[in-house]
Structure 1
Amino acid sequence: MAADTITLNDPTPVLGASGAATGTLPGKHARTAKNVGWYVLLSLLSLVVLFPVWMTLVRALSTPVAYVNEGLPLYPVSVEWDIFSRAFSEGELGRRMWLSAIVTFIIAAAQLITSILCAYAFAFLRFPFKRLVFVVFMATLMLPIEVTLIPNVTTIRNLGWLNSYEGLTVPFLATAFGIFLIRQGFMGIPKDLLDAAKLDGYGHFAFMTRVAVPVTRPVVASFGVIALLAAWNQYLWPRAVVTVSEWETVQIGLKSVAASNVEESNIGFAAAIIAALPVLLLLIFLQRQLIRGLTAGAVKG
């Protein structure tokens, strides 16, 4: 009987008619090879994305003379370590980055507030022509800033808001993209939850602040990150409404630094790296919230 006993968990592969091993190992190897292929592809794409960043760092650290002599080096040549302190002082980056931080905070905070209020209205309230109004709001996403630039600049000039916080921030206090993104998050909340909250004595404002916003926190946080990045990287609008150096934001400052240091172009590259550090740190610390929010906004329920 012992000799006739079949061991079901025997890991020895069964040989087929051709002598080749059969079982689950080929499928497992295929999945492993597929995963390795994806990892290799993603690694190559990461190198493509990181290559310009690395070359910017190389260009900043290398002296102009060494860079010309070496052609296009892939590593720093004749490193100039004090280039970052020189770029920070000569470009007045401290003052310009502080101004950009204030403008960025005002725009991002205002967009969060207005987007939450409008998104709640489109998701939970009933009023005439709601769908039509929402379509009109979304249609503004198809208008590039160049289309509305001249009328908006004329309005800002007539209001006397050139070279001011009002001129830098007021046209961007609301955005249709934020309304759409947060509304998609609110649409995932069951309407029965609102009815139950009303029975408990909650009004719309209490339900929005205590239930809707906390439930969709990843979506709200992701839009906050997007708003911060967009406001920090603005160049065209500040260039149009700023006429004095005291009100130049960091992006305009980078252009000024590059234009005034043509012979020492590495100063401009160093200034660009310094200006990108806040954005880089923001993405590093908030990337999880950004990914969760975009995923939650794209999948209902």
Structure 2
Amino acid sequence: MKKLNISTLISFIFLLCMTLIWIFPLAWAFFSSFKDEVDIQTYGFSMLPVHWVITNYQDLLFDNSSTPVAKWFMNSMIISVTQTVMVLVVVSMAAYGYTRLRFKGRDWLFSFLLASMMFPAVVNLIPLYKIIDTLGWVNTYWAAIVPGAAAVFNVFLVRQFMIGIPLELDESARIDGANDFQIYTKVTLPLIKPVLTVVALFTFTSSWNDFLWPSIVFNDIDRMPITPGLQLLQGMYVTDIGHAMSAALIAIVPTFILYLFTQRYFLQSMSLSSGVKG
């Protein structure tokens, strides 16, 4: 019993220390967003503001045309939501094809797709940019949406989840006169909702936080998403820390809310065999 108590105490202390290490920079950023630049420069690495101000947020959201954070926020929202919806459609249909439909070379084709995951994404940057430029999509939302619409890992994740759904359900639906599309929409989709929720969570977060690719395909400030736009808040010789912290906090709000409301789906999806209950 003593060993159990000691080990539990050590685990608790370790996890508490890790939590503090993770949350301290976030707390400092939060309080710094309510400081004016004079306080930051004068009092250095102090936690609480000497004078609480909201001018940093006002400047970013209403009074700043050179760094339009509100526009960047809406651009990121449009890109992330559209890409998430597109990914859910493409990935779920692809996974259905690789698990439910029978066609020649199906397994070989899926193995080839998995093998493509071995190549780093940076290898595709130049040819992908040439394609986007040829299509005339530079500085458009499509440049950030379409390239990530068919992630192989998401297809693999949904396929593995879908394998756990008995084929007898499909056969019963066929006996009742349902075709493949009806089986996909009426039978399969409701059963894979947990894993699709996790795919949506991963896709939205990845799209929202993407920095490299939007920095390449966007050079119009008004069309830029918020993550690459944050770099414009850093001056060549000096950086307004209060504005930078305020913009960073604005940028993490959607992903924080998303994780807050989808935790149970995330945990549920960790068991790939949980597609059918009871």
Q: What TM-score do you get using the length of structure 1 for normalisation?
A: 0.83
What is aligned with 2:217? 241
What is the identity, as a one-letter code, of the residue corresponding to 2:225?
A: T
What is aligned with 2:45? 72
What is aligned with 2:61? 88
What is the identity, as a one-letter code, of the residue corresponding to 2:257?
A: L
2:36 equivalent to 1:60: no
**1:143: Cα distance to partner?**
2.6
1:1-301 matched pairs, under 5 angstroms? 27=1, 30-89=3-62, 90=64, 91-259=67-235, 262-293=238-269, 295-297=270-272
Contact preservation (8 Å) 1:61, 1:77: no
The unaligned stretches of length 5 or more in structure 1 are: 1-26
Aligned-partner Cα distance in 1 for 2:220–2:169: 53
Aligned-partner Cα distance in 1 for 2:41–2:264: 42
Q: Secondary structure at the match of 1:297?
A: coil
- Higher mean displacement: 106-115 or 211-220: 211-220
**1:244: Cα distance to partner?**
1.6
Computing the radius of gyration from Cα coordinates, the structure with the larger value is 1
Structure 1 pair 300–198 and aligned structure 2 pair: CA distance change class (3 A): closer
The unaligned stretches of length 5 or more in structure 2 are: none
- Higher mean displacement: 61-70 or 113-122: 61-70
Q: Secondary structure at the match of 2:115?
A: helix
User: CA offsets per residue over residues 100-134 of structure 1, 9 Å max, x none?
Assistant: 11111111111100000110111112222222211
Superposition CA RMSD, Å: 2.2
What is the identity, as a one-letter code, of the residue corresponding to 2:39?
A: A
User: CA offsets per residue over residues 140-189 of structure 1, 9 Å max, x none?
Assistant: 32333311001111111122211112222221221111101111110111
Contact preservation (8 Å) 2:194, 2:266: yes
Contact preservation (8 Å) 2:162, 2:275: no
Q: Secondary structure at the match of 2:98?
A: helix
Structure 1 pair 71–265 and aligned structure 2 pair: CA distance change class (3 A): closer
State percent identity of aligned pairs.
Answer: 25
Aligned-partner Cα distance in 1 for 2:225–2:192: 33
Structure 1 pair 38–210 and aligned structure 2 pair: CA distance change class (3 A): farther
Aligned-partner Cα distance in 2 for 1:275–1:228: 13
Contact preservation (8 Å) 1:64, 1:263: no
Structure 1 pair 69–94 and aligned structure 2 pair: CA distance change class (3 A): closer
Aligned-partner Cα distance in 1 for 2:7–2:240: 48
Contact preservation (8 Å) 2:30, 2:246: yes
Aligned-partner Cα distance in 1 for 2:4–2:191: 37
Task: Tell me how many residue pairs correspond in the alignment.
Answer: 273
Contact preservation (8 Å) 2:75, 2:223: yes
What is aligned with 1:24? none
User: CA offsets per residue over residues 182-223 of structure 1, 9 Å max, x none?
Assistant: 111101111222222222222222222122221121111111
Structure 1 pair 74–159 and aligned structure 2 pair: CA distance change class (3 A): same
Structure 1 pair 282–57 and aligned structure 2 pair: CA distance change class (3 A): same
Structure 1 pair 268–176 and aligned structure 2 pair: CA distance change class (3 A): same
Contact preservation (8 Å) 1:185, 1:300: yes
Aligned-partner Cα distance in 1 for 2:22–2:113: 34
Aligned-partner Cα distance in 2 for 1:145–1:163: 21
Contact preservation (8 Å) 2:164, 2:273: no
Q: What TM-score do you get using the length of structure 2 for normalisation?
A: 0.89
